[in-house]
């Protein structure tokens, strides 16, 4: 364990973030300070060049982010602040609905700092909230355990599994109230959020609160015109909604190699005007808490050149989980 003085400093930094009492800029400063303490305790900086800490870990489908990149997520400021506030909000809401009842959280993919646990748990008593953690990367588990020990948070932990969330069977799954899995990247590329949900969600109660609640991919046509008076972007709407896309899948049949194809009919537009199409990732964290375009590495918008002349009337989207996890687009 580290000195109580350091634990108190970290707790104050956390509660300032969770209380909504500080601005985003101040929250950034707090997260940098927290990161300095976590680096010191775990010896994981997130920025070394060791191959082992950089390498992605193969999962049953897709790949888990390398340990360094998982550590760096702490400093994806808006992401971290929004996730932390969302999780604290859900716990407080649950406490109102079911006072004096232990709230149980399953956290799949905790990373080397177990950020969405270590920065939430100190806000609550161990009799109020208990977490079960799961992580595929054994070195991340070692680091997270060291941090949890040092911060004296063991009483908040029920179990800690080193396992692949895509195949894991959760013991006593129906006792959990909240499921957290921030295992995603922009455009749901490579990482395991979708197959993890296909495996885990059906194991829990129907009313389990999932964080993030959903991920929606959106498409628009964009013009590079310099004319300030015309709208440069035409929003074509959602092309992929994870919760809708996985709702009909039976997990007893295993994880499918691809999800059902989605065809988007394109409106008739003056296509000479548009130069690129843009794909956006919107992360719906909880209720009115969203991560929107370019707020985080998870929501970086990707722009692609349109072939000219563009004469297609539909866009066909397929989300593959084999041989790699990726979204493919075809125009017809
Ligand atoms: C994007 S990082 C997020 C880390 C941390 N939860 C946070 O929010 O800062 C995702 C973490 O999930 C883990 N992960 C990804 N796929 C996984 C899987 N299939 N099973 C278990 N853990 C997984 C990665 O190893 C990584 O540590």
> Ligand 1: which of 111, 197, 198, 285 to mutate, judged by most atoms within 8 Å of the beta carbon?
111
4-331: in CATH 3.30.300.30: no
Q: What is the pLDDT of residues 229-247, one digit of tens each?
A: 888 999 999 999 999 999 9
- State residue 243 phi and psi, 5-degree precision: -65, -40
If you measure from the C-alpha of residue 82 to the centroid of ligand 1, how many angstroms do you get, rounded to a whole number?
Answer: 17
Closest protein CA for atom 10 of ligand 1: 183
pLDDT confidence of residue 180: 98
Distance CA 313, CA 266 (A): 5
Cβ neighbourhood burial of 38 (10 Å; 0-12, 13-18, 19+) = buried
pLDDT confidence of residue 2: 75
Ligand 1 pocket, Cβ-based, cut-off 6 angstroms: 57, 59, 64-65, 70, 73-74, 108-111, 115-116, 134-137, 140, 164-166, 182-183, 192, 196
Angle between the N-to-C axes of helices 24-42 and 138-150, in degrees from 0 to 180, rounded to the nearest 10:
100
pTM: 0.96
Cα separations in angstroms, 221 against 99, 233, 235, 269: 49, 6, 7, 10
Closest protein CA for atom 23 of ligand 1: 109
If you measure from the C-alpha of residue 135 to the centroid of ligand 1, how many angstroms do you get, rounded to a whole number?
Answer: 6
pLDDT band at 252 (very low <50, low <70, confident <90, very high): confident
Per-domain boundaries in the chain: 4-331
Closest protein CA for atom 25 of ligand 1: 64
> Which of the 8 DSSP states describes residue 180?
E
pLDDT band at 134 (very low <50, low <70, confident <90, very high): very high
Residue 50 has pLDDT above 80, yes or no: yes
Mean of pLDDT values over 147-169: 98
If you measure from the C-alpha of residue 140 to the centroid of ligand 1, how many angstroms do you get, rounded to a whole number?
Answer: 9
pLDDT confidence of residue 160: 98
pLDDT confidence of residue 314: 95
């Amino acid at each position: 364990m580290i000195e109580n003085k350091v634990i108190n400093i970290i707790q104050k930094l956390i509660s300032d973030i969770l209380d909504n009492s500080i601005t985003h800029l101040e929250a950034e400063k707090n997260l940098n300070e927290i990161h300095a303490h976590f680096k010191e305790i775990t010896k994981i900086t997130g920025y070394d060049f060791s191959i082992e800490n950089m390498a992605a870990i193969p999962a049953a489908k897709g790949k888990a982010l390398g340990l360094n990149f998982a550590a760096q997520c702490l400093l994806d400021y808006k992401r971290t602040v929004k996730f932390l506030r969302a999780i604290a909000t859900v716990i407080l809401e649950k406490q109102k609905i079911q006072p004096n009842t232990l709230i149980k959280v399953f956290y799949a993919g905790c990373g080397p700092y177990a950020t969405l646990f270590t920065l939430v748990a100190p806000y609550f008593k161990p009799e109020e909230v208990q977490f079960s953690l799961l992580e595929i990367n054994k070195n991340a588990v070692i680091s997270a355990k060291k941090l949890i020990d040092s911060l004296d948070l063991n009483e908040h932990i029920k179990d800690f599994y080193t396992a692949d969330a895509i195949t894991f069977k959760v013991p006593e799954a129906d006792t959990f109230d909240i499921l957290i899995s921030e295992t995603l990247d922009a455009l749901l590329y490579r990482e395991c959020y979708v197959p993890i949900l296909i495996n885990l969600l059906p194991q829990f109660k129907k009313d389990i609160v999932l964080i993030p609640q959903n991920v929606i991919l959106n498409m628009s046509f964009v013009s590079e015109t310099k004319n300030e008076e015309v709208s440069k972007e035409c929003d074509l709407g959602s092309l992929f909604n994870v919760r809708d896309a996985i709702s009909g899948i039976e997990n007893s049949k295993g994880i499918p190699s691809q999800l059902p194809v989605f065809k988007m009919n394109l409106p008739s537009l003056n296509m000479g005007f548009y130069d690129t199409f843009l794909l956006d990732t919107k992360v719906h964290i909880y209720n009115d808490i969203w991560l929107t375009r370019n707020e985080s590495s998870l929501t970086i918008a990707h722009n692609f050149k349109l072939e000219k002349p563009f004469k297609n009337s539909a866009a066909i989207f397929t989300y593959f989980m084999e041989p790699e996890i990726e979204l493919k687009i075809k125009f017809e």
